[in-house]
Protein backbone atom coordinates (compact mmCIF):
# COMPACT_ATOMS: atom_id res chain seq x y z
CA UNK A 1 0.00 0.00 0.00
CA UNK A 2 1.44 3.39 -0.99
CA UNK A 3 1.52 6.36 1.34
CA UNK A 4 -1.05 8.20 -0.80
CA UNK A 5 -3.48 5.28 -0.86
CA UNK A 6 -3.10 4.88 2.91
CA UNK A 7 -3.98 8.58 3.41
CA UNK A 8 -7.04 8.22 1.18
CA UNK A 9 -8.17 5.19 3.16
CA UNK A 10 -7.73 7.08 6.45
CA UNK A 11 -9.80 9.99 5.08
CA UNK A 12 -12.58 7.56 4.16
CA UNK A 13 -12.54 6.13 7.69
CA UNK A 14 -12.51 9.53 9.43
CA UNK A 15 -14.79 11.63 7.21
CA UNK A 16 -18.25 10.89 5.86
CA UNK A 17 -19.38 12.52 2.64
CA UNK A 18 -22.73 14.20 3.29
CA UNK A 19 -23.36 15.96 -0.01
CA UNK A 20 -21.80 16.87 -3.33
CA UNK A 21 -20.84 20.45 -4.18
CA UNK A 22 -21.10 22.36 -7.43
CA UNK A 23 -17.72 23.90 -8.22
CA UNK A 24 -16.91 26.92 -10.37
CA UNK A 25 -13.94 29.26 -10.68
CA UNK A 26 -12.73 32.56 -12.09
CA UNK A 27 -9.00 32.98 -12.77
CA UNK A 28 -6.56 35.76 -13.52
CA UNK A 29 -2.80 36.15 -13.92
CA UNK A 30 -2.69 38.78 -11.17
CA UNK A 31 -3.80 38.43 -7.55
CA UNK A 32 -6.81 40.58 -6.84
CA UNK A 33 -7.70 41.88 -3.38
CA UNK A 34 -11.48 41.79 -3.84
CA UNK A 35 -13.80 39.53 -5.74
CA UNK A 36 -14.01 41.05 -9.23
CA UNK A 37 -17.12 41.18 -11.37
CA UNK A 38 -16.81 38.37 -13.83
CA UNK A 39 -18.01 34.98 -14.96
CA UNK A 40 -17.47 31.80 -12.96
CA UNK A 41 -16.82 28.76 -15.15
CA UNK A 42 -17.77 25.23 -14.11
CA UNK A 43 -14.94 22.95 -13.01
CA UNK A 44 -14.88 19.29 -12.01
CA UNK A 45 -12.71 17.50 -9.47
CA UNK A 46 -9.40 16.66 -11.13
CA UNK A 47 -9.58 19.47 -13.74
CA UNK A 48 -6.68 21.89 -14.05
CA UNK A 49 -7.67 25.46 -13.21
CA UNK A 50 -4.50 27.35 -14.16
CA UNK A 51 -0.77 27.53 -14.61
CA UNK A 52 1.97 28.23 -12.06
CA UNK A 53 1.38 31.58 -10.32
CA UNK A 54 -2.17 31.97 -11.68
CA UNK A 55 -4.72 33.22 -9.18
CA UNK A 56 -8.35 32.18 -8.93
CA UNK A 57 -11.57 32.53 -6.97
CA UNK A 58 -13.54 29.34 -6.39
CA UNK A 59 -17.24 29.13 -5.66
CA UNK A 60 -18.56 26.01 -3.92
CA UNK A 61 -22.32 25.61 -3.70
CA UNK A 62 -24.31 22.88 -2.03
CA UNK A 63 -26.92 22.07 0.55
CA UNK A 64 -25.98 21.19 4.10
CA UNK A 65 -28.44 18.71 5.57
CA UNK A 66 -29.40 18.94 9.26
CA UNK A 67 -26.51 17.57 11.31
CA UNK A 68 -24.87 17.53 14.69
CA UNK A 69 -21.27 18.40 15.37
CA UNK A 70 -18.71 20.12 13.19
CA UNK A 71 -18.50 19.99 9.41
CA UNK A 72 -15.23 19.83 7.50
CA UNK A 73 -14.53 20.62 3.86
CA UNK A 74 -11.53 18.77 2.43
CA UNK A 75 -10.23 20.67 -0.60
CA UNK A 76 -6.93 20.28 -2.43
CA UNK A 77 -6.68 23.23 -4.80
CA UNK A 78 -3.05 22.60 -5.61
CA UNK A 79 -1.78 25.84 -4.07
CA UNK A 80 -2.24 28.38 -1.32
CA UNK A 81 -5.75 28.95 -0.06
CA UNK A 82 -7.95 31.43 1.70
CA UNK A 83 -11.60 30.91 2.65
CA UNK A 84 -13.95 33.86 2.25
CA UNK A 85 -17.61 33.61 3.18
CA UNK A 86 -20.06 36.45 2.76
CA UNK A 87 -23.56 35.15 3.30
CA UNK A 88 -25.83 37.38 5.39
CA UNK A 89 -28.50 34.65 5.41
CA UNK A 90 -26.13 32.33 7.30
CA UNK A 91 -23.84 34.47 9.48
CA UNK A 92 -23.09 31.45 11.68
CA UNK A 93 -21.01 29.80 8.93
CA UNK A 94 -17.34 30.47 9.57
CA UNK A 95 -14.01 29.79 7.98
CA UNK A 96 -11.42 28.52 10.46
pLDDT in tens, 32-77: 666 667 788 999 988 988 888 888 888 888 888 887 777 777 777 7
Query: How many angstroms separate the Cα of 82 from the Cα of each of 3, 7, 24, 55?
Result: 27, 23, 16, 11
Bridge partner list, 56: 27
pLDDT digits (tens, 9 = 90+) for 76-85: 777 777 766 6
Instruction: Quickly list DSSP for 26-62.
Output: EEESS--SSPPS--PEE--TT-----TT-EEEEEEE-
User: How many helices (H) and strands (E) in the chain?
Assistant: 1, 3
Residue 96 in this model has a pLDDT that exceeds 70 = no
Residue 92 in this model has a pLDDT that exceeds 60 = no
Global confidence as pTM: 0.66
Amino acid sequence: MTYESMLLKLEELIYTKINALTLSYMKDKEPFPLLPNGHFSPIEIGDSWGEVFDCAWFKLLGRIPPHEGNLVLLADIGGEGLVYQNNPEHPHLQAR
